[in-house]
Chain A
């Protein structure tokens, strides 16, 4: 009986490790940008390329920064949620139109609705690199001091919005 105890112990330890490993999502890379200042940029606006958007312009308010593209299939998944959020007027959503064409981007917004106060055009993806973007869509919550407080990689789900983003926004605004 005792001789089985040792292999059983190894088996149990291994099972625990594998069970934890199964639950981890390798796509959820912890972002080193949390609690760091939002990287500065100055990009042309999508609707009005004559004007620019810079994070510095938004100092003093809490805002959501959403990376999107017309070629991004997963963006469609979260889009209705963002449109709904923008209707509630709780927090402004700014967009980073990532490696996209202006015409396509505008058409996409026409078709699916535009939740963005403004979108900036990151045509070559250079700003995306500064924000550590690797899987569009990505969403950031940026506080009044221009510090990144939250990052969501992949589509925002109703659960994440209700349980993480909205409470955080409320707390930061308060």
Chain B
């Protein structure tokens, strides 16, 4: 009973929030696409699109109204960066301060490749280096011959 009541109570609120989508699905899709790339600052591990924080809803409305006013995605992104910094972008721009972020994985890959190269070279070195002494060789040959004869018998 309570559940039904809650559902009925929740319905108008839901319908209210969904209204803009019904009006212009293409616009709403654009809003969702852009806000999915913007960080919600109140709940930092969510995008604006996912978040239901007060500020996130305000910012989504801001994005929507700027799109309606004919602003491009790049202009809106600039608007957000001017206020909240590069931090709002889930895809930060390549700058001197973010160079490590962008180059880091490749540096690690190169370091790993280098380490692997060194290791392999050293191993090959060790393999070719460990040649048998004449006594060892003679003994090995004797053993092999004995084994061979044993096999044919």
Q: Does B81 contact A (CB under 8 A)?
A: yes
Q: Does B125 contact A (CB under 8 A)?
A: no
Specify which chain B residues have a CB less than 8 angstroms from the CB of A132 in the assembled complex. 83-85
Q: Does B44 contact A (CB under 8 A)?
A: yes
Shortest Cβ distance from A131 into B: residue: B83
What is the size, in residues, of chain A's interface with B at 8 Å between Cβ atoms?
A: 16
Task: Assess whether A129 is in contact with B85, with CB atoms less than 8 Å apart.
Answer: no
Chain-B contact segment, one of A27-35, A56-64, A112-120, A155-163: A27-35
Shortest Cβ distance from A39 into B: residue: B83
Which residue from A26, A32, A99 sits with its C-beta under 8 Å from B84? A32
Task: Assess whether B83 is in contact with A130, with CB atoms less than 8 Å apart.
Answer: yes
Q: Does B24 contact A (CB under 8 A)?
A: no
Shortest Cβ distance from A99 into B: residue: B54
Shortest Cβ distance from A36 into B: residue: B82
Tell me the chain B residues, 29-50 only, with Cβ under 8 Å from chain A. Answer: 41-42, 44
Shortest Cβ distance from B88 into A: residue: A29
Shortest Cβ distance from B39 into A: residue: A29
Chain-A contact segment, one of B55-63, B130-138, B141-149: B55-63
- Cα A31 to Cα B44 in complex, Å, equals 15
Shortest Cβ distance from B55 into A: residue: A134
What is the size, in residues, of chain B's interface with A at 8 Å between Cβ atoms?
A: 15
Q: Does A80 contact B (CB under 8 A)?
A: no
Interface of A is mostly: loop
Specify which chain A residues have a CB less than 8 angstroms from the CB of B82 in the assembled complex. 32
Specify which chain B residues have a CB less than 8 angstroms from the CB of A99 in the assembled complex. 54
Given A32-B84, A33-B83, verify A125-B58 contact (CB < 8 Å): yes
Task: Assess whether A129 is in contact with B41, with CB atoms less than 8 Å apart.
Answer: no
Shortest Cβ distance from B53 into A: residue: A134
- Cα A123 to Cα B119 in complex, Å, equals 65
Chain B nearest CB, measured from A135 CB (Å): 7
- Cα A33 to Cα B86 in complex, Å, equals 12
Specify which chain B residues have a CB less than 8 angstroms from the CB of A33 in the assembled complex. 83
Task: Assess whether B87 is in contact with A29, with CB atoms less than 8 Å apart.
Answer: yes
Tell me the chain B residues, 68-124 only, with Cβ under 8 Å from chain A. Answer: 81-87
- Give me 5 other A-B pairs in contact (C-beta within 8 A), A32-B83, A130-B83, A132-B83 excluded: A31-B85, A32-B84, A32-B85, A129-B58, A129-B62
Residue positions of A touching B, CB distance < 8 A: 26-27, 29-33, 99, 124-125, 129-132, 134-135
Interchain Cβ contacts under 8 Å between A and B, 30 examples: A26-B44, A27-B44, A29-B41, A29-B84, A29-B87, A30-B85, A30-B87, A31-B85, A32-B82, A32-B83, A32-B85, A32-B86, A33-B83, A124-B58, A125-B54, A125-B55, A125-B58, A129-B58, A129-B59, A129-B62, A129-B83, A131-B83, A132-B83, A132-B84, A132-B85, A134-B41, A134-B42, A134-B55, A134-B84, A135-B42
